[in-house]
Amino acid sequence: MKTNADNKQVRLGTQIALALTMGTAFVPTTVYAAPITASQTYTADVTVADDVNIADGTITVEGVDDDTSSQHANRTAILKGNVKIKNLSGNILAALSHGDGTQDWTGILTINPNRTSKVELRGDILVGRPNNTSERGGYVNLYLKGAESYFAGGIADLDGKALHQRGGVRLELSDGATWYPKEGVDSYTLFNPNDPLEDFGQTSTDGGASWTEDQSKPIGFHLSANSGVIDMAFATPNEKCTIKPVGERTLTFNNTKSALSGATFRISTNLTENKADKITLNGVTGAGNQYHLQIGFDPKMNDPANKTNYVIEAAAAGGVPVLDSENTSDTAAASEYTTRKAVAAGLLQKVFKVKPTLVEATESGRKIVRVTKITISDTAPTPQPQPQAA
């Protein structure tokens, strides 16, 4: 399947060929609009094909559910191009509604529904109804596919209400796409914990007389990561976490069901001090769930004495716990991770292949997975690009 960028290049080539065939002097330099670079608020249904590249801004969609003015409407914004938004002090995406009504008229924001575009997001997602926090206000559907796509952030709070009370977020990770959970937030509850039969909101096409389930309205946090990555070792690509020391982060998922089967958890360890990041899964259902575990960083990887292939072993007999699941039939598989560091005064890049050794046990009715050692396999250093003389 062609990516969004590939399709744009094909369209450019077609226009150039047409111009040459017709003998025209004008050859287009581009066939698509300049990217959107400023914050946008959509108050009507819209599908946006242009790329988005916003620094310190937000994409917002607003529905309306106001009995006083008799205004009731879902508003849907769909972004199909490449999306890059960074907002470290605010929200990157917001799906909201306003008004004093009590029905599910909301804002719906969908990113990359065709799963063909590159998505890079740093910041938080907000859903809700700011002027009526007792009602749901918005839904975000975020589809990330491919190793270049990532979301580094979390879900913003709104007046202390739980996510399923104010709307929801769907985050789908596939083909190596990565979520870097926001530092300082250590627990997430998936789906709708209050009503397992109500995982989606509803939509009316007759002015509110009748309502049917709408799967573009996920209630609560719908997280799926089959072939995707949940990275606890880094805060963003190539930037290690800073709030907690290496190997001391814990991430808990409640009401997990089988949503995270197939996910890769990338963690940091400090095995010589018997420390490792830990994933706790509660409310797990289904048989045959398997998770993958990678080690993204251990301080011994930077030990200058380690020049060739070597092993980092846990000091504790039996290893250090890294995964704790309520479902005893769950399993975990070690997954290789490739990382690198500069050597030879920065002239070379040394590439590491890092793979943990895992052991599993059932203890007190839970599946416990421990890492006993990490095997580091070196590859030949590669020269760094050097400045060229003018």
CB 302 within 8 A of CB 267: no
Q: What is the pLDDT of residue 302?
A: 79
Per-residue pLDDT, 158: 86
* Average confidence (pLDDT) over 256-265: 98
d(CA 168, CA 93): 12
Give the β-pairing of 348-363 and 40-42.
Answer: unpaired
User: How confident is the model over 201-208, as a mean pLDDT?
Assistant: 95
pLDDT at 111 over 60: yes
Report the pLDDT value the prediction gives residue 387, as an integer from 0 to 100.
43
What is the overall mean pLDDT for the chain?
90
Q: In angstroms, how far is the first alpha carbon of the chain from the final one?
A: 41
Q: Which helix (H) or strand (E) holds 207?
A: none
pLDDT of residue 30: 36
- Mean pLDDT over 52-81 rounds to 98
CA dist 374 to 40, 277, 312, 331, 333, Å? 47, 14, 5, 19, 14
Is the Cβ–Cβ distance between 226 and 264 less than 8 Å? no
pLDDT, residue 114, reads: 98
Between the alpha carbon of residue 353 and those of residues 25, 299, 305, the distances in Å are: 53, 15, 17
pLDDT tens, 155-198?
Answer: 999 888 999 999 999 999 999 999 999 999 999 999 999 999 99
CB 185 within 8 A of CB 120: no
Region of 227 on the Ramachandran plot (φ > 0 left; ψ -120 to 50 alpha; else beta) = left
Q: Which tens digits make up the pLDDT trace of 115-145?
A: 999 999 999 999 999 999 899 999 999 999 9
pLDDT of 349: 74
- Domains of the chain, by residue range, sit at 39-308
The pLDDT, as a whole number, for residue 390 is 39
Higher pLDDT, 339 or 254: 254
At residue 33, the pLDDT reads 75
- Per-residue pLDDT of 265-315, as tens digits, reads 999 999 999 999 999 999 999 999 999 999 999 999 877 766 668 999 999
